[in-house]
Structure 1
Amino acid sequence: MKNLLFILLITQLSACQNKQTQQQNMETTQTEKFAWNPTFTCPDGYPVEVYSGGFAEPYQSLHLGVGTAGWGETGGSMSESKQIPQGLQVTWLAFAEDCFYTIKCEIDHKKIEQLFQEGFEMRGASGKLKHEDYYYIIAGFAPGGVVVVWMAGAAKTTEVGRYQGEKIEIKEPPGLDSHERLYFDAVYRKGVMENEKIVPLEVQQTNKNKPIPYGLWDSYRVKYVWKPTFVIQNDGKMNERVTLDLLNGERYSIRDFNFPIRTDYKDNYNLKIEYTKQAIPKSVGFSWYDKEGQLYSGKVEFDENEIFEAFTILYKDNKDTEAELEFKVNMTNTFITVKLKGNGKEIAITKSQQKVFESDNKW
């Protein structure tokens, strides 16, 4: 009997200790601080304005005026938080659709915490590696009530998740101030869509008399297995950094962390890039050296319809294809040709806009 009582006592003590340990671990997680700024974004040509709400638990307002930043970009911010948000509770006005949407949902706060904890590595101008943190959490609002959340830091933006809002009707309540009444003013709403500082004239003309492309921003999130490759002619060599902006709003840089600080340009160097499952690119920037050590940089901004169609065609018969997006610099370092290659196909990308710069730097 005494042995039995002793065993029960030990079991109860162990259970209490485990419960106390779990409580301490939970409190540690809840009190861990990560400084970040809340902001929101919307696609070009489809401005929105938050009517009420923001990130929730803790509450961080997204009432920041009319959004014009562009899909996945960081907009304005008025406050800083050090606690991980648990959800979204927002009502917003979609000017192009002339309606309100609302959302109240939990967001992937565990992924947010993980990204805060991990951060990412970047190579600075000195060539030394340094740790960088995410310092924005972005809520993106697209037509149809589509909501996407990203985290952003220096030269890197990572998607957290996609959520769905609901269209609602709001009748103008009494007692509103002069600005709040504008939400219900048809002249004001129309004026926002015609304001060239909010919707550039080129975008207005492009979208004129066209239906809103519902579903487009979900199609941006489709990912394929591909990698960029680079051909530098006439004995030129790649630099260590490639920057990619993707249609789904993500952004990152490929850097070879084993890249040596050059003392001799003739060092044999090739950037090692792996196949990655990722969205279709919006733009790609990279730099290279000619055989004399002259540094050049180039950026290719894709025509959205062309690059989208190219990926659709190449992956039509086999979704698991591994493809290369090849960037080939001409002999005089003044022009870049682009091809999407894979599954026995080669598709020339000819409608992109590009810039090539010759740097003052020379190795």
Structure 2
Amino acid sequence: MNKILLPFLMSLFLLSCQEKGKIGQENFPYSVTTSAPSGYPIEVHLGFFTDDRNQLICGVSKTGIERSGWQWDGDEGGQGGSVIPAHIDLTYVAYAEKKFYHLDADLPKEKILEVFRKGYLTQSNEIGEDGKKIMVPAHYDILTVGMAPGGMVVIWLSGNKSRVEICRLQAKETFVDKDKFRPIPKSGETQEQFFDTKFKIAVPDSIQAEIEKNGIPFKLWDDYRIRYKYRFVVNPYDDKDKVTGVHNLQYSGEEDFITKQSDAEKYREQGIPYNVTVEFTKYFVNIIFDDRETISVFEELQEKHPGKPIDIVLTPTFMYEDIKVSVKCEQEEIKLQKYKMDGVYGG
């Protein structure tokens, strides 16, 4: 009897260990944050993630007004989980539009799992034989929910200098009684007065003026998500200074960090750059792009040269006092005028 029972119990034990191993491999802890397009503040009313059995995982971070931009992860607010989310239920207010929106949508669970499994490469503190920091595998650990006027919702997974879009969703306009939204109800205040007051307080003066003149640029945030095939072509000031890293943060909210020269020379399908940080042997520089100018130039070049890849050419002046920036497609090259140099460091 023991000769029969022992192998059977061993088989059960091995199967149990295998199942635990599988579960461990699918366990990717993450925190949840929120964001909004720069200058167009939002605030979460209620929100939560559930799994594919409709079991609650965690809430969507409710940490006050978000306004800093698609490119940044907001406050965590103590929310997070390790189960892959399959559904989101979310209600938020878009102060620039003076409207509440509600989203009730399934999430691409398999894509989220795939991105978690794939991970990315990040810099360690260990220095390799070539004098550079060694790149090591890492997993994404922040899930960010971006909300905008018009009901646009975008979800990203973020890590250190790496961010990837998971999906773009569409919320519907809804009604929420402002007294059920406010922490403390304000007697005698109408819904319209609530929105007018919040608009004046939360929305920057410059954005208020733009809305009054041109309306809310609903199309702009989807324009951010249009992918162009481009690369950065960096010309060091002299042969002694080599490019050691290119960090590209995009207006779409995605980002990547490239350290291999061979990878930096490849064209990539990506949104227009928000900023690029280029690391040289002795210096590193940071350039911030103007979204409207860059979109206009890219659209013009793609219309004239359909399907052709684009180079963003960076040319330093003496001692990196300035970087000249132009956009080139085939033989046509257009100089950018509205970018900003955010400092040159090193020496």
Instruction: Say which is worse superposed, 97-106 or 63-72, in terms of deviation.
Output: 63-72
SS at match of 2:342: strand
Amino acid in the other structure paired with 2:277: G
Instruction: Note the alpha carbon deviations across 1:271-327, whole angstroms, 9 max, x for none.
Output: 7420111111111110224xxxxx111111111111111101000134311111110
8 Å contact 2:165–2:253 — kept in the other structure?
A: yes
Instruction: Tell me: CA distance 1:236–1:201, structure 2 relative to 1, closer, same or farther (3 Å).
Output: farther
Amino acid in the other structure paired with 2:67: T
Amino acid in the other structure paired with 2:171: G
8 Å contact 1:149–1:159 — kept in the other structure?
A: yes
Partner of 1:33: 27
In 1: Cα distance, 2:75 partner to 2:36 partner: 12
Alignment partner for residue 135 of structure 1, among 137, 141, 145? 141
In 2: Cα distance, 1:25 partner to 1:341 partner: 53
Runs of 5+ consecutive residues of structure 1 not aligned to the other structure: 1-20, 257-268, 290-294
Amino acid in the other structure paired with 1:296: Y
SS at match of 1:123: strand
Task: Tell me how far 1:27 sits from its aligned partner.
Answer: 11
Partner of 1:101: 101
Matches within 5 A, 1:7-86: 28=22, 32-57=26-51, 58-62=56-60, 63-77=62-76, 78-86=78-86
8 Å contact 2:71–2:249 — kept in the other structure?
A: no
Alignment partner for residue 277 of structure 1, among 263, 269, 279? 269
Normalised by the length of structure 2, the TM-score is 0.82
SS at match of 1:66: coil
1:217 aligns with 2:221: yes
Instruction: Say which is worse superposed, 208-217 or 150-159, in terms of deviation.
Output: 208-217
In 2: Cα distance, 1:298 partner to 1:313 partner: 27
In 1: Cα distance, 2:134 partner to 2:176 partner: 54
SS at match of 1:144: helix
Amino acid in the other structure paired with 1:73: W
Instruction: Tell me: CA distance 1:30–1:194, structure 2 relative to 1, closer, same or farther (3 Å).
Output: farther
In 1: Cα distance, 2:240 partner to 2:181 partner: 63
Instruction: Tell me: CA distance 1:302–1:326, structure 2 relative to 1, closer, same or farther (3 Å).
Output: same
In 2: Cα distance, 1:137 partner to 1:96 partner: 25
Partner of 1:9: none
Instruction: Note the alpha carbon deviations across 1:14-61, whole angstroms, 9 max, x for none.
Output: xxxxxxx9xx97994698311101111111221111111222233321
Instruction: Tell me: CA distance 1:100–1:128, structure 2 relative to 1, closer, same or farther (3 Å).
Output: same
8 Å contact 1:135–1:151 — kept in the other structure?
A: yes
8 Å contact 2:246–2:264 — kept in the other structure?
A: no
8 Å contact 2:232–2:264 — kept in the other structure?
A: no
Amino acid in the other structure paired with 1:331: F
Partner of 2:255: 251
Which structure's CA Rg is the greater one? 1
8 Å contact 1:72–1:140 — kept in the other structure?
A: no
Instruction: Tell me: CA distance 1:128–1:177, structure 2 relative to 1, closer, same or farther (3 Å).
Output: closer
Amino acid in the other structure paired with 2:63: L
Instruction: Tell me: CA distance 1:79–1:328, structure 2 relative to 1, closer, same or farther (3 Å).
Output: same
Instruction: Tell me: CA distance 1:152–1:337, structure 2 relative to 1, closer, same or farther (3 Å).
Output: same
Alignment partner for residue 150 of structure 1, among 156, 160, 167? 156
Matches within 5 A, 1:315-354: 315-354=302-341
In 1: Cα distance, 2:90 partner to 2:190 partner: 17
1:303 aligns with 2:309: no
Instruction: Tell me: CA distance 1:330–1:172, structure 2 relative to 1, closer, same or farther (3 Å).
Output: closer
Task: Tell me how far 1:87 sits from its aligned partner.
Answer: 1.6
Instruction: Tell me: CA distance 1:189–1:232, structure 2 relative to 1, closer, same or farther (3 Å).
Output: same
SS at match of 1:114: helix
Partner of 2:88: 88
**Root-mean-square deviation (Å):** 2.7
Partner of 1:226: 230
In 2: Cα distance, 1:130 partner to 1:318 partner: 39
SS at match of 1:34: coil
Amino acid in the other structure paired with 1:107: L
Task: Tell me how far 1:69 sits from its aligned partner.
Answer: 3.1
Runs of 5+ consecutive residues of structure 2 not aligned to the other structure: 1-14, 128-132
1:163 aligns with 2:162: no
Amino acid in the other structure paired with 2:142: Y
In 2: Cα distance, 1:191 partner to 1:38 partner: 29
Instruction: Tell me: CA distance 1:342–1:190, structure 2 relative to 1, closer, same or farther (3 Å).
Output: same
In 1: Cα distance, 2:182 partner to 2:331 partner: 62
Amino acid in the other structure paired with 1:42: A
